[in-house]
Amino acid sequence: MAEISDVYFIDGMRTPFGRAGEKGMYWNTRADDLVVKAIRGVIERNPDVPLDRIDDVAIAATTQQGDQGLTLGRTAAILAGLPQSVPGFAIDRMCAGAMTSVTTMAGSIGIGMYDLALAGGVEHMGRHPLGGGDTDPNPRFLTEKLVSADALNMGITAERLHDRFPVLTKERADRFGMRSQQKAQAAYDAGKLQPDLVPVAVKSADGAWGLATEDEGRRPETTMEGLAQLKTPFRPHGRVTAGTSSPLTDGATISLLAGSRAVKELGLTPKMRMVSFGFAGVQPEVMGIGPIPSTEKALAKAGLTIDDIGLFELNEAFAVQVLSLLDHFGIDDDDPRVNPWGGAIAVGHPLAASGVRLMIQLAAQFAERPDVRYGLTAMCVGLGQGGSVIWENPHYTGKKKTAKK
């Protein structure tokens, strides 16, 4: 008999993220092989999970063609060596693809239909640029003026946030971008990110094999002076630069989710419990504000306020987009609760994979912070959407963190 169940994030892993394009480390690596590596990493780290008990595999990709097509969840499951009795499917919500993979599987677990599921995403932006080159938007979008012609140019949508909110200055965005780089490098130096990275064998243009073990796009040497000199590619005399944008990225993520019955039966140790989630739509031309209404939805469903959130993992598609959310909720730019290990500006944003990266980092921080009860993962989404998931820390003790003397 099916029963309503809690939903737990048991574990998550990802490939190192690579720079997209011919000079990137994954130029000669298939997208589906990146997914397979991530799945194998989670499976090997959780040997007590019977593979034939996995109820489904949901893998997201924004551009579903070539080596990112063919019902990725099913093909990746077979390639990863899961029993052929395990089904799978592909999913797309642009940047929130992996996040939607998780919430979709969570719905099935929550109503007792599933016990265990794998959910994640991949984007090989070197092989498959956004839109894939063969998309055919309905002409009504333009003829009926439903959406601006440049609404799919994410950089221009970011420029519009600067226009709409003059308090979101270029200097603030530059500083946020610089701090992201610094925090990500500090996290690397402290060994915070590496435990959840799956090494990937990669082949260079000359046929030599190597091992990808770190995120490739980091620029810890970034300075405010350097950022001030960068071009504004989306608009002459604009405010959005490469230093305040997430780079084009290749990579894959995966999470293992479980319901209460499986956790008890298999003796699993959850890293997080899902509290609530929300998705919301906004004008596509200002898609960066999407996480504001989706976070308000998720908070309302959880019966919480923004003050209850002790850690924030916000996807840094653009610095200005994160700043717009912080301003809305009255949070300081340098609040230590926000992206303490840096974000997508430093490590990259392989579109449909990024939602689970946020969850992986939040889970690792929860383990270090028993004083924090709730955390938020949130992101903006192309075509004017936002996605937010609130999580509870199973390590929470109720004791406040004491300041070091």
* Tokens of residue 38, six digits: 């991530």
pLDDT tens column, 29-49: 999 999 999 999 999 999 999
pLDDT bin (cut points 50, 70, 90) of residue 405 is: very low
Expressed as residue numbers, the domain containing 261 is 7-127+247-392
| Residue owning tokens 């797309």 | 92
**Would residue 52 count as lying in a domain?**
yes
Question: Which H/E stretch holds residue 109?
Answer: helix 97-110
Strands of 129-248, DSSP E? 200-203, 209-212
129: nearest Cα among 190, 43, 66, 49: 66
Count of CB atoms situated within 10 Å of the CB of 153: 13
What mean pLDDT, rounded, does the chain reach?
95
CA distance linking residue 292 with residue 281, whole number of Å: 10
**Would residue 402 count as lying in a domain?**
no
DSSP character string of 261-305 = HHHHHHT---SEEEEEEEEEE--GGGGGGTHHHHHHHHHHHHT--
**Would residue 81 count as lying in a domain?**
yes
| Domains identified in the chain, total number | 1
Share of the chain above pLDDT 90, in %: 89
CA distance linking residue 23 with residue 97, whole number of Å: 26
CA distance linking residue 315 with residue 188, whole number of Å: 18
pLDDT tens column, 142-177: 888 888 877 778 899 999 999 999 999 999 999 999
**Would residue 211 count as lying in a domain?**
no
Q: Residues 58, 121: contact at Cβ < 8 Å?
A: no
pLDDT tens column, 334-362: 999 999 999 999 999 999 999 999 999 99
Specify the pLDDT at position 132.
58
Specify the pLDDT at position 206.
85
CATH number of residue 81's parent domain = 3.40.47.10
Give me the active site residues, please: 95, 349, 380
Q: Is the pLDDT of residue 403 over 60?
A: no
CA distance linking residue 162 with residue 323, whole number of Å: 10
**Would residue 86 count as lying in a domain?**
yes
| Residue owning tokens 């949070």 | 331
**Would residue 148 count as lying in a domain?**
no
**Would residue 57 count as lying in a domain?**
yes
CA distance linking residue 276 with residue 388, whole number of Å: 8
**Would residue 315 count as lying in a domain?**
yes
Q: Is the pLDDT of residue 110 over 80?
A: yes
